[in-house]
Structure 1
Amino acid sequence: MESTPVSRPSSRRPLLDSYYERYLEAENSAAFIRQVGERYSVATLERLAESGDRMTRRGAVLALGFLADFESNNVLGAALRDRDRGVRTLAENAIRLVWCRIGTPSQRQELGAIIRLNNAQQFAEAIARASSLIDIAPWIAESWNQRAIAYFSTSKFLDAIRDCQQALEINPYHFGAAAGMGYCYVQLREHASAAECFRRALKLNPGMESARAKLIEVQRVLKDGE
Structure 2
Amino acid sequence: MDNTLIQSLLENLKDPDESIRDAATHELWRLWFTQKGARGLELLERSQTLIDAGEYGHAEQVLTDVIADLPDFAEAWNRRAVLHYICGQYQKSLADCEQVLALNPIHFGAMHGQGLCHMALKQYMAAIHAFRQALEIQPYALENQKMILECTARLS
The alignment's C-alpha RMSD in Å is 1.6
Relative to its length, the structure with more helix (as a share) is: 2
Structure 1 runs not aligned, ≥5 long: 1-69
Task: Give the paired residue count.
Answer: 154
Amino acid corresponding to residue 113 of structure 1 in structure 2: R
Instruction: Please point out which of 112, 124, 131 is paired with 2:64.
Output: 131
Aligned counterpart, 1:32: none
TM-score (norm 2): 0.90
Q: CA shift at 1:212, angstroms?
A: 1.2
Instruction: Please point out which of 77, 81, 92 is paired with 1:144.
Output: 77
Aligned counterpart, 1:113: 46
Instruction: Please point out which of 98, 115, 122 is paired with 1:165.
Output: 98
Moved more, 119-128 or 151-160: 119-128
Which runs of structure 2 are paired with 1:35-184 in the superposition (5 Å)? 70-71=1-2, 72-184=5-117
Amino acid corresponding to residue 144 of structure 1 in structure 2: W
Moved more, 122-131 or 212-221: 122-131
TM-score (norm 1): 0.63
Q: Percent identity?
A: 27
Instruction: Please point out which of 113, 120, 128 is paired with 1:195.
Output: 128
Q: CA shift at 1:104, angstroms?
A: 4.1
For the 8 Å contact 2:63–2:80, the answer to whether it is kept is: yes
In our comparison, the structure showing a higher alpha carbon Rg is 1
CA distance in 1, matches of 2:9, 2:49: 24
Aligned-partner SS, 1:207? coil
Q: CA shift at 1:84, angstroms?
A: 3.0
CA distance in 1, matches of 2:71, 2:9: 22
Aligned-partner SS, 1:99? helix
Structure 2 runs not aligned, ≥5 long: none
Q: Which has the higher contact order (CA 8 A, sep 6+)?
A: 2
Runs of 4+ in 1 over 4 A off after TM superposition: none
